[in-house]
């Protein structure tokens, strides 16, 4: 149960719906991280009451000049944001970055390691960012 964020644990406790086995716990952890990554990358900096810096800072610049999006700057911004605001992740590698100006989407693969306090070895997510600020993170 310690693998979820605090509010997720409170929700589970209130419904008494705790994972019954390791497979359910692993699925719960991965879904919690996926959901939080989606929240981080969807939130524009300055829009969260908990922290003015919370969110993805480069989003506005990327979408104003979508054709000119710089892959290295995108990777650096994503890595910095995710590692800072998702404490369960200790290492992050962003690969297969595709910037498509015609469909106006950015697609990348995020792989990484969880902190030593988690039994899981690692994770892999596919992330799609669109011009309208919609972010989809898939397991």
Give the pLDDT mean for 23-31: 77
Per-domain residue ranges for the chain? Answer: 6-138
pTM score of the predicted model: 0.75
pLDDT value for 82: 93
Give the pLDDT mean for 67-84: 82
User: Class of the 6-138 domain?
Assistant: alpha beta
Question: Which of 37, 125, 41, 127 lies closest to 77, judged by CA?
Answer: 41
pLDDT tens across 86-138, in order?
A: 998 999 999 998 888 777 788 899 998 888 777 667 888 998 888 677 888 88
Torsion 56-104-122-75 (CA) sign: negative
- The two most distant CA atoms of the chain are separated, in Å, by 49
């Amino acid at each position: 149960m310690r693998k979820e964020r605090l509010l997720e644990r409170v929700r589970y406790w209130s419904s008494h719906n705790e994972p019954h086995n390791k497979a359910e716990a692993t699925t719960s952890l991965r879904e919690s991280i996926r959901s939080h990554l989606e929240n981080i990358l969807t939130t524009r900096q300055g829009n969260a009451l908990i922290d003015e810096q919370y969110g993805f800072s480069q989003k506005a610049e990327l979408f104003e000049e979508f054709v000119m999006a710089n892959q290295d700057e995108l990777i650096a911004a994503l890595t910095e944001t995710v590692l800072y605001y998702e404490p369960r992740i200790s290492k992050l590698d962003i690969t297969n970055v595709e910037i498509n100006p015609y469909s106006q989407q950015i697609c990348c693969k995020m792989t990484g390691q969880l902190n030593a306090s988690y039994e899981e070895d690692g994770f892999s997510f596919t992330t799609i960012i669109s011009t309208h600020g919609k972010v989809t993170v898939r397991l």
